[in-house]
Amino acid sequence: MTISLADPAAHGFDSDRLARIAALLDKRYVATGRFKGLDVLVARDGQAIYRTTLGAMREDGTPVRDDAIYRIASMTKPLTSIALMMLVEEGAIALEDPVTRVIPEFAGLSVYAGGGGDAPFMPGRPAQGMRIVDLLTHMSGLTYGIQNRTNVDAAYRKARLDGHASLPGNDHFIAELAKLPLEFAPGEAWNYSVSTDVCGVIVARLSGMSLGEFLKARIFDPLGMVDTGFAVAPEKLDRLCDAWSYVPGAAPHLLDRAETSNLVRAPRFESGGGGLVSTTADYHRFASALANGGSLDGVRLVSPKTLALMTSNFLPGGVDLTQMSRSMFSEANNAGVGFGLGFGVVFDPVRALSAGSAGEFSWGGIFSTGFFVDPVEKVHMVLMAQLLPSSAYPIRRDLKTLIYAALAESRA
C-alpha cells in the first residue's frame, strides 16, 4: 500500500523540526548499530505528514522497504481488544460478565499461596469474580512467563503459555492456564499478562470463527490492511524483516532470520496478545480509525463512546501504574499513565514528564514497535523496528519528544 505524504505545514507541523527525527534516530540508533533498521510515520487528521525509513531490514544489508513486514508482537493487543469490544457492542458479551460464561475452565482458579518449582502449588483461596473487564485491563491475576519474578511466572515459561505459536490451540492454552494459580485475586492489582490472549479465545468462542478469521473479516479487510495476519504468505517472504535481540555492550544478535522464519507457516495457536505481523501502512490505517473516533473511510469498528470508554483510566481511584503495577516488564511508562481496555492512557503529562495531551493512548510490542494516538491534537505515530526487548533503549520517548517539538499549531 502506497502512502502519500501531505504538506506538514497544512496540518500544523514544522517541516524543519520534523526533519530532526531522521537525523537523531540515525545518529543515535542506526549509525551506532543499536538498531539495524527503523520505519517511522507521523500523521495528523488521518493524513501522513512525515515518514522516514532508516537502515537495513536484513542481515545482508537490504535497505528497509516501504512495504516491509514486521513482527508487531503486543501491538496485536489493541486489535484483539477492539475485536472483543465489537462483540460487546453487539450484545454478545458485557464487560461485567464473568469470564466463566465463555471460559468455564476457569471456574476452579485459586490465588497463589505457595509452592512451585520442584514442589506442587499449595491450595489457595478461590479466585472468584474474574470479569471480562479484568482481562481487558490486565487486572485478572494472570501473568507472563517473561516477568521472571515468581514461581507462577516460571510455570508459565515451562508450559510455553506466553502465546507461543506452537501451543496446540485455544483449548489446550486455556486448560493449561486453568491448572495454575493466579498471582492475585482479580481486581486487586495490575500485571501485564496473557489476559489479551484469553480475550482472543473469547472472541473465537463467541463468534464461532478463529481469531484470525474474525480479525480479517471485521477489521483487516474492511480497512484494507492487506498485509496483517498471523503468518506471512510465501510470496511476501522477501518483505519480512530479520529480527534481532539486544546484547549488552555488543552488536545485536540475529534472533530470527526472515528466510527461515516459522512465520511462513500458520500457527497452531493464534496469539491475540502478540502473534500478528503487519506493515507501517496497515497499522497506520488502524491508528487512523482510532484517531477518528473508531471509523475510517466509511468503515466503523466501534462507536466514539465505546472508544472513549476504552481509552479511559480503569485503575481504581484514578491511580497510575506506579501504584498498581506488579510487572517487571510492560510496554508502558508508569508515571502519569493509567490503563484502559487494551491501551495505556496518559492522564497526567506532567507526571509522565513528556509533552503530549491528557487522553493520549498507546501501546507497543516487545520487538520495539510502538504507536500512539493523541485524540486532542488528532496526531498519531507508528514506529516499526525488530529489536527485542523494547526496554533496551528509550527510542519511543525520544520519538515522542521530537514529534511534539515539531507541532507548531496546537488545538488544545
The predicted-structure confidence for 10-29, as pLDDT tens digits, reads as follows: 999 999 999 999 999 999 99
Spell out the domain ranges in the chain.
18-76+210-405, 81-207
What is the reported pLDDT for 130?
97
Q: Work out whether strand 361-364 and strand 344-346 pair parallel, antiparallel, or are unpaired.
A: antiparallel
CATH of domain 81-207: 3.40.710.10
Q: Is 211 left (phi over 0), alpha (psi -120 to 50) or beta?
A: alpha
Residue 123 — pLDDT band, cuts 50, 70, 90? confident
Question: Residue 333: which residues within 8 A CB-CB, separation 6 or more?
Answer: 352, 354, 397
Question: Residue 298: which residues within 8 A CB-CB, separation 6 or more?
Answer: none
In the predicted model, what is the mean pLDDT of the chain? Answer: 96
How far apart, in whole angstroms, are the C-alpha atoms of residue 56 and residue 45? 30
Cell of 246: 539486544
Residue 362 pLDDT exceeds 80: yes
Phi, psi of 317 (to 5 degrees): 75, 10
Residue 71 pLDDT exceeds 90: yes
Question: Residue 242: which residues within 8 A CB-CB, separation 6 or more?
Answer: 36, 57, 58, 59, 254, 255, 256, 257, 258, 386
How far apart, in whole angstroms, are the C-alpha atoms of residue 299 and residue 143? 35
How far apart, in whole angstroms, are the C-alpha atoms of residue 229 and residue 220? 8
Residue 394 pLDDT exceeds 90: yes
How far apart, in whole angstroms, are the C-alpha atoms of residue 341 and residue 88? 12
What is the reported pLDDT for 184?
96
Amino acid residing at 46: G
Report, in this order, helix, strand and coil percent for the chain, each rounded to 5.
35, 15, 45
- Asked if residue 40 lies in contact with residue 369, where contact means CB atoms within 8 angstroms, the answer is no
Residue 125 — pLDDT band, cuts 50, 70, 90? confident
Residue 1 pLDDT exceeds 80: no
The predicted-structure confidence for 37-53, as pLDDT tens digits, reads as follows: 999 999 999 999 999 99
Mean of pLDDT values over 110-124 = 90
What is the reported pLDDT for 333?
80
Residue 141 pLDDT exceeds 80: yes
Phi, psi of 169 (to 5 degrees): 105, 175
Q: Is 254 left (phi over 0), alpha (psi -120 to 50) or beta?
A: beta
Residue 2 — pLDDT band, cuts 50, 70, 90? confident
What is the reported pLDDT for 265?
95
Q: Which candidate, 344, 333, 342, places its Cα nearest to that of 401?
A: 333
DSSP annotation of 160: T
Mean of pLDDT values over 234-250 = 97
What is the reported pLDDT for 119?
86
Residue 252 — pLDDT band, cuts 50, 70, 90? very high
The predicted-structure confidence for 201-216, as pLDDT tens digits, reads as follows: 999 999 999 999 999 9
For the beta carbon of residue 19, count every other beta carbon within 10 angstroms.
15
Q: Identical fold at 18-76+210-405 and 81-207?
A: yes
For the beta carbon of residue 26, count every other beta carbon within 10 angstroms.
16
The Cα angle at residue 74 between residues 133 and 140, in degrees rounded to 5: 25
Mean of pLDDT values over 311-318 = 97
Cell of 162: 506466553
Phi, psi of 155 (to 5 degrees): -65, -35
What is the reported pLDDT for 332?
85
Question: Residue 61: which residues within 8 A CB-CB, separation 6 or more?
Answer: none
Residue 233 pLDDT exceeds 90: yes
Cell of 284: 497506520
Cell of 47: 493524513
Residue 214 three-state SS:
helix
For the beta carbon of residue 351, count every other beta carbon within 10 angstroms.
15
The predicted-structure confidence for 256-290, as pLDDT tens digits, reads as follows: 999 999 999 999 999 999 999 999 999 999 999 99
What is the reported pLDDT for 205?
98
How far apart, in whole angstroms, are the C-alpha atoms of residue 383 and residue 397? 12
Amino acid residing at 144: Y
pTM as predicted:
0.97
Residue 242 — pLDDT band, cuts 50, 70, 90? very high
Cell of 200: 482472543
The predicted-structure confidence for 170-180, as pLDDT tens digits, reads as follows: 999 999 999 99
Residue 248 three-state SS:
coil
Helix (H) or strand (E) holding 165: none
What is the reported pLDDT for 13?
98
CATH topology of domain 18-76+210-405: Beta-lactamase (3.40.710)
